[in-house]
C-alpha cells in the first residue's frame, strides 16, 4: 500500500504537467482541469495514512494508470505509472517518446472514454477524504482551523457597540468594517485576533489621504475554563496593523480610559499607534505599543457587487482567495451578532491595496455593519412550507461564490434582501440557474463547482441528529458540516492555485482621489471653449457634494478660462469622468438668480450645451395608482420642467396655466439619453453606480454630511394633517376652533415632535417597512417625470397634491425654469422633504449626496 501511494506521489505531478500542456495545445479546458485536479491532489497525497483513504488512492492509481496506458499490457500491475516513474526524469529520446505516448493516451481517454467523469469524481473523493478532520468520540468533527466560540464573537461585537456609543460630530464609528482575513490563526495562541476599520476624521484633508482610516486590531482572549475571565485588547493604528510577535503590555503600563476618550482617540488625526485593553469590562490604554507594518490602501471602499460589475478581469487566484476568505469568515462568525442577516454582496466591501502602480491593486474583503443593539434570538434557519432552501446564510454564501466565479452580481427585484419564503425561493432560482449556465467546473474547476453545489444543496444538513422541532440543537453540527463541505475544499484550492493576482478594472473607474493625477497638456482645457457641461447648485452644501465627485479640479487655472465682462458668477472648473465641467455656485435660490447665472454662463462659455441642475427638492409621495414608492433620499430626473406658478389670480382662487407655454421639454438628444436611462437594465446600472458614488461621498464627507438620517426620521403625514401645535393649552392661535387652518409663526419653525404631531397620522410605506424589519438602509431609487419649478416654496400637502395632479408632477424645485430660458437643462435632485408643512432640514445633506452621485452616474451615458 505504501508503495502505491509513493508511486502516485512521484508520478502524478509529471502526468499533471502533460495534461496541462495538452490543454494549452488543444485549447480544451478538460485537459487543464484534469491537470489542475491532479496537481491539487499531489499536495495532499503524502498524508494518506488512513486505510479508507489508501483504498481510494489505489482505485485512483488504477484509473490514472489506465488513462496513461498505450496498450492493454500496461493496465496490469500499474505498468504505465511504473514506466513513467522510470523514465520521466531522464534526458533521453525515451523521455520525449514517453511524453508523446502519455499525451496521446490522455487525449483518447478524456475525449472518448466514459470513465473520465468518474476519474474527476474519484479525485474529488480522495481530496475530501484526506481533508476531512478527525472525528471526536461524540461524533463531531475536529476542525483543522480555529472556530471562533460564540462568546468571542459576541464579546467583540458588544464591546465595540458599547464603546462606539458617542455624541461626537464625526460619527466615525458608524459602519464599522470588519476585515475578512484568509490567514490562519495559531491553535495555541492565547488570543483571537480581529482587524477593523473605522472612519477617523472629519477634516477636508482627511477625506483625500490614506490617513482617513483608523485600523483597530482586536485581540479577544480565549475563555479560561477555570477563571472564566475575558480580555479584549484594542490596537489602533492608521490603516494597517499586522499581528505583532511581541507580547501584550504589562498591566503596569495601562491606565483607565475616561468617558468619551475612546472616540477622541479613534478620531484623532495623529498617526500614532494606540492600544487598548479591556479586562473585567474596564477599558485601559497602553502607554507603549509594538511596531507594525503599514499597507497602502485607497480611501474609498466599494461594495462587492459594484466592484465585480466594474472589474473587467479577475484571475482565478483572486477569485478563489475571495471565495475562501468569505466562506471561512461565514463559518467563523456563523450565527453570531455579526450575522443576524445573511452576508450579501452589499454587506461585503472591497478595500483596495496598492501593490505597484495605480492600476495594480489587490482587493481585501471587509464586512460592513452598524453596531446595533441586538434583541432576541439569532436564527440561522427559515421555516416555510414551500422553501427550496431553509438556511439563508448558506444560500447567500453560495450566491456570493457564484457571483465571484461568474463575475455576475445578482440584481434583486427589491432594494432589500427580505429573506422570507418568497424571496428565498427567488434567490435560490437565480443561484441555480446562474451556476448551471456559468459552467463553473470549466471556468475554475470541479472542486469549486462542488462547493457551490453543496451550498445550494437543500439536504446539506440532512444527516443532522437534530429534529425539526429542535433545530437550535443542531447548530454546532451545521457549522461543522459547513467547514467540511465548503471551507475545506476552498482552503485546498487557495493553497494549490499558483497563478497571478491580476485584477484589471475598466477605464470608467476613476483614479484614486488621494493620488495626485498627472496629465498631458492636451488633457487639461486651455480655454473656456473646452467646457461642454455646466452644473448649477443653489446652496453651498449642494455644491460641496458635487465638488467631491470631481475627478480633477482646475481652479488655479481659472484665469485662462476667461469669463465675459459682467459675469459675476463664482465657478469651480474641473472634470467629471471624461467631461470638462464648470460648477456654478449660485448667489441664491429662485428663478431670478438662476436665470442671471445661466445667462452669464452662456456668455462666458458658449460651448456649454447642457445644464444640470443638481441639489435637493420636495418630492410628491406616491399615490395608490400603482406608481413606484418615493421616499426621502430618492432622486428625481426631469422629463420636462413645468412652471406651475404661471397662471391667473382671480378674487377667490389662483388658476395655474397648463399646456406647452408652461412645460419645457428636452431636445431630441437629451430625450434619447433619458430613453436609454429608463430602460430596465440601464436603470439598474444607473442605480448601482449611484450607490457606488454615494459610498464614495460618505467615505469622504462622513456620516454627518452624507449619511442616511434613519428610517424612523422619514415621516410622511396625511396631506390634510397640518403642522401646528396639537396641545390646545400650548397655543391659542393653533387651537382656534373657528379658524382651523390658522398656524402660529412659532409652530412653523418647530419640529413635529415639539408641536406634538401624532404618529398615528403617518402614512406607512412598504419600502420603509421592509428596511426597518431587516435593519438595513433602503437604497436610493431614481424616478423620472415632470418637475415643477417656481419661485414659491411648496409647504402644503393639500396644495402639493392638487398641483401635482394638475401637471403630473413628481417633485418641486425653484431654479430650473430660470435656467431653461438660457440653456437646455436636466434636473437631477434628491428628495429632502415631502413639500408639506412638516418639512425640515434633516435630510438635506443626504439628499444632496444622492443627487450628486446620480449626476455622476448619468454622465457615464452622456
Q: Residue 732 is part of which domain span? A: 722-756
Q: What is the pLDDT of residues 382-440, one digit of tens each?
A: 877 778 888 899 999 999 999 999 888 887 765 556 777 778 888 888 888 888 888 88
> Following CA atoms 275, 277, 283, 286 in sequence, which dihedral angle do they give, to the nearest 10 degrees?
-50
Decide if 267 is inside a domain. yes
Backbone angles phi, psi at 605, to 5 degrees: -130, 75
Q: What is the pLDDT of residues 680-707, one digit of tens each?
A: 888 888 998 899 899 889 888 887 888 9
Describe the chain by its helix, strand, coil percentages, rounded to 5: 45, 15, 40
Domain end position, chosen among 269, 295, 321: 295
In this predicted structure, which of 25-29, 204-208, 560-564, 700-704 has the lowest mean pLDDT? 204-208
CA-to-CA dists, residue 716 to 232, 363, 600, 762, 775, angstroms: 44, 41, 39, 6, 20
Q: What is the pLDDT of residue 244?
A: 39
How sure is the predictor about 586, in pLDDT bands with cuts at 50, 70 and 90?
very high
Decide if 475 is inside a domain. yes
pLDDT > 90 fraction of the chain, expressed in percent and rounded: 16
Together in a domain, 245 and 347: no
d(CA 546, CA 548): 5
Q: Which helix (H) or strand (E) holds 405?
A: helix 392-406
d(CA 504, CA 173): 32
Q: Which three cell numbers stand for residue 770?
A: 421592509
N-term to C-term CA, the chain: 69
Q: What is the pLDDT of residue 807?
A: 87
DSSP state, residue 58: H
Q: What is the pLDDT of residues 524-559, one digit of tens each?
A: 787 888 898 999 999 999 999 999 999 888 876 666
Together in a domain, 464 and 486: yes
How sure is the predictor about 787, in pLDDT bands with cuts at 50, 70 and 90?
very high
Together in a domain, 271 and 336: no
Rg (CA), the chain: 32
Domain end position, chosen among 271, 295, 319: 295
Phi-psi region of 407 (alpha: psi -120 to 50; beta: other; left: phi over 0): left
Together in a domain, 751 and 804: no
Decide if 143 is inside a domain. no
Q: What is the pLDDT of residue 417?
A: 63
> Following CA atoms 117, 121, 124, 130 in sequence, which dihedral angle do they give, to the nearest 10 degrees?
-140
Decide if 141 is inside a domain. no
What's the domain count of the chain? 5
Decide if 102 is inside a domain. yes
Averaged over 336-349, what is the pLDDT? 87
Q: What is the pLDDT of residue 155?
A: 78
Decide if 137 is inside a domain. no
Decide if 170 is inside a domain. yes
Together in a domain, 319 and 263: no
Residue 803 has pLDDT above 50, yes or no: yes
CA-to-CA dists, residue 807 to 733, 783, 804, angstroms: 34, 16, 5
Together in a domain, 427 and 498: yes
Q: What is the pLDDT of residue 32?
A: 76
Residue 140 has pLDDT above 70, yes or no: no
> Following CA atoms 87, 91, 95, 100 in sequence, which dihedral angle do they give, to the nearest 10 degrees?
150
Together in a domain, 579 and 696: yes
d(CA 16, CA 42): 9
Together in a domain, 25 and 48: yes
Decide if 145 is inside a domain. no
Cα angle vertex 565, ends 564, 570, to 5°? 70
Together in a domain, 87 and 186: no
Backbone angles phi, psi at 131, to 5 degrees: -100, 0
Q: What is the pLDDT of residues 149-168, one digit of tens each?
A: 677 788 788 877 777 666 55
Q: What is the pLDDT of residue 373?
A: 72
Together in a domain, 771 and 635: yes
CATH number at residue 830: 3.40.50.1580
Residue 300 has pLDDT above 80, yes or no: no
d(CA 742, CA 722): 10
- Which residues have a Cβ under 8 Å from the Cβ of 152 and sit 6 or more positions away? 192, 220, 222, 223
Tell how strand 570-576 and strand 552-553 pair up. antiparallel
Together in a domain, 826 and 775: yes
Domain end position, chosen among 68, 98, 131: 131
Q: Which helix (H) or strand (E) holds 298?
A: strand 297-303
Together in a domain, 496 and 609: no
Here the contacts of 777-780 (C-beta below 8 Å, separation 24 or greater) are: 777/708, 777/711, 778/415, 778/416, 778/631, 778/633, 778/711, 779/415, 779/416, 779/687, 779/691, 780/633, 780/634, 780/635, 780/687, 780/690, 780/691, 780/694, 780/830, 780/850, 780/853, 780/854
Amino acid at each position: 500500500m505504501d508503495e502505491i501511494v509513493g508511486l502516485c506521489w512521484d508520478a502524478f505531478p509529471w502526468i499533471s504537467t502533460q495534461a496541462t500542456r495538452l490543454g494549452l495545445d488543444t485549447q480544451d479546458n478538460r485537459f487543464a482541469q484534469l491537470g489542475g485536479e491532479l496537481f491539487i491532489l499531489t499536495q495532499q497525497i503524502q498524508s494518506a495514512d488512513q486505510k479508507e483513504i489508501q483504498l481510494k488512492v489505489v482505485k485512483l492509481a488504477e484509473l490514472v494508470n489506465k488513462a496513461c496506458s498505450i496498450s492493454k499490457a500496461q493496465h496490469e500491475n500499474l505498468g504505465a505509472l511504473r514506466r513513467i516513474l522510470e523514465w520521466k526524469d531522464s534526458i533521453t529520446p525515451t523521455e520525449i517518446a514517453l511524453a508523446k505516448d502519455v499525451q496521446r493516451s490522455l487525449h483518447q481517454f478524456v475525449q472518448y472514454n466514459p470513465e473520465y467523469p468518474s476519474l474527476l469524481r474519484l479525485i474529488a473523493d480522495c481530496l475530501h477524504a484526506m481533508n476531512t478532520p478527525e472525528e471526536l468520540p461524540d461524533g463531531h468533527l475536529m476542525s483543522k482551523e480555529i472556530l471562533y466560540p460564540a462568546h468571542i464573537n459576541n464579546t467583540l461585537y458588544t464591546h465595540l457597540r458599547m464603546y462606539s456609543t458617542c455624541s461626537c460630530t464625526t460619527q466615525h464609528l458608524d459602519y464599522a468594517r470588519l476585515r475578512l482575513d484568509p490567514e490562519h490563526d495559531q491553535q495555541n495562541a492565547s488570543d483571537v485576533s480581529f482587524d477593523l476599520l473605522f472612519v477617523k476624521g472629519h477634516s477636508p484633508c482627511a477625506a483625500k489621504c490614506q490617513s482617513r482610516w483608523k485600523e483597530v486590531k482586536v485581540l479577544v482572549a480565549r475563555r479560561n475554563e477555570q477563571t472564566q475571565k475575558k480580555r479584549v485588547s484594542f490596537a489602533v493604528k492608521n490603516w494597517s496593523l499586522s499581528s505583532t510577535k511581541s507580547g501584550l503590555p504589562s498591566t503596569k503600563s495601562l491606565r483607565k480610559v475616561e468617558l468619551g476618550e475612546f472616540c477622541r482617540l479613534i478620531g484623532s488625526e495623529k498617526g500614532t499607534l494606540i492600544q487598548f485593553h479591556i479586562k473585567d469590562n474596564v477599558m485601559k490604554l497602553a502607554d507603549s505599543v509594538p511596531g507594525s507594518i503599514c499597507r497602502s490602501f485607497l480611501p474609498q471602499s466599494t461594495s462587492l457587487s459594484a466592484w465585480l460589475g466594474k472589474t473587467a478581469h479577475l484571475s482565478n487566484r483572486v477569485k478563489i482567495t475571495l471565495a475562501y476568505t468569505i466562506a471561512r469568515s461565514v463559518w467563523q462568525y456563523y450565527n453570531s451578532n455579526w450575522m443576524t442577516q445573511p452576508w450579501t454582496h452589499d454587506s461585503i466591501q472591497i478595500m483596495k491595496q496598492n501593490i505597484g502602480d495605480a492600476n495594480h491593486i489587490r482587493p481585501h474583503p471587509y464586512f460592513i455593519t452598524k453596531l446595533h443593539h441586538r434583541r432576541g434570538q439569532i436564527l440561522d434557519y427559515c421555516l416555510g412550507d414551500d422553501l427550496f432552501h431553509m438556511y439563508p446564510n448558506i444560500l447567500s454564501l453560495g450566491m456570493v461564490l457564484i457571483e465571484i466565479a461568474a463575475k455576475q452580481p445578482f440584481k434583486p427585484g427589491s432594494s432589500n434582501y427580505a429573506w422570507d419564503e418568497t424571496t428565498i425561493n427567488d434567490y435560490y432560482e437565480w443561484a441555480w440557474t446562474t451556476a448551471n449556465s456559468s459552467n463553473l467546473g470549466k471556468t475554475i474547476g470541479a472542486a469549486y463547482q462542488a462547493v457551490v453545489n453543496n451550498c445550494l444543496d437543500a439536504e446539506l444538513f440532512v444527516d443532522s441528529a437534530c429534529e425539526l422541532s429542535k433545530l437550535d440543537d443542531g447548530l454546532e453540527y451545521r457549522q461543522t458540516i459547513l467547514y467540511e463541505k465548503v471551507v475545506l475544499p476552498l482552503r485546498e484550492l487557495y493553497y494549490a492555485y499558483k497563478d497571478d493576482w491580476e485584477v484589471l478594472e475598466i477605464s470608467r473607474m476613476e483614479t484614486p482621489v488621494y493620488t495626485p493625477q498627472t496629465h498631458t497638456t492636451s488633457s487639461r482645457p486651455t480655454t473656456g471653449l473646452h467646457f461642454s457641461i455646466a452644473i448649477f447648485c443653489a446652496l453651498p452644501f449642494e455644491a460641496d457634494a458635487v465638488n467631491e465627485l470631481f475627478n480633477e479640479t482646475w481652479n488655479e487655472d481659472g484665469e485662462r478660462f476667461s469669463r465675459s465682462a459682467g459675469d459675476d458668477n463664482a465657478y469651480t472648473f474641473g472634470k467629471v469622468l471624461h467631461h470638462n465641467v464648470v460648477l456654478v455656485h449660485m448667489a441664491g435660490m429662485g428663478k431670478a438668480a438662476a436665470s442671471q447665472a445661466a445667462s452669464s454662463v452662456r456668455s462666458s462659455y458658449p460651448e456649454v450645451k447642457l445644464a444640470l441642475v443638481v441639489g435637493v427638492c420636495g418630492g410628491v409621495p406616491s399615490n395608490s395608482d400603482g406608481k413606484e414608492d418615493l421616499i426621502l433620499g430618492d432622486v428625481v430626473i426631469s422629463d420636462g420642467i413645468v412652471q406651475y406658478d404661471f397662471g391667473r389670480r382671480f378674487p377667490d382662487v389662483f388658476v395655474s396655466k397648463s399646456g406647452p407655454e408652461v412645460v419645457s421639454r428636452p431636445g431630441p438628444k437629451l430625450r434619447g439619453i433619458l430613453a436609454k436611462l429608463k430602460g430596465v437594465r440601464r436603470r439598474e446600472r444607473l442605480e448601482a453606480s449611484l450607490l457606488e458614488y454615494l459610498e464614495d461621498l460618505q467615505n469622504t464627507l462622513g456620516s454627518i454630511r452624507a449619511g442616511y438620517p434613519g428610517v424612523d426620521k422619514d415621516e410622511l403625514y396625511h396631506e390634510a394633517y397640518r403642522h401646528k401645535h396639537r396641545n390646545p393649552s400650548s397655543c391659542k392661535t393653533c387651537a382656534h376652533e373657528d379658524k382651523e387652518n390658522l398656524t402660529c409663526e412659532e409652530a412653523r419653525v418647530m419640529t413635529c415632535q415639539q408641536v406634538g404631531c401624532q404618529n398615528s397620522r403617518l402614512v406607512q410605506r412598504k419600502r420603509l417597512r421592509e428596511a426597518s424589519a431587516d435593519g438595513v438602509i433602503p437604497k436610493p431609487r431614481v424616478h423620472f417625470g415632470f418637475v415643477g419649478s417656481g419661485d414659491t416654496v411648496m409647504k402644503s400637502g393639500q396644495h402639493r397634491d392638487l398641483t401635482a395632479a394638475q401637471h403630473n408632477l413628481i417633485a418641486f424645485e425653484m431654479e430650473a425654469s430660470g435656467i431653461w430660458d438660457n440653456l437646455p437643462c436636466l434636473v437631477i435632485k434628491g428628495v429632502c422633504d415631502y413639500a408639506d408643512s412638516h418639512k425640515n432640514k434633516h435630510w438635506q445633506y443626504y439628499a444632496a449626496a444622492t443627487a450628486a452621485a446620480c449626476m455622476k452616474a448619468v454622465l457615464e451615458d452622456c
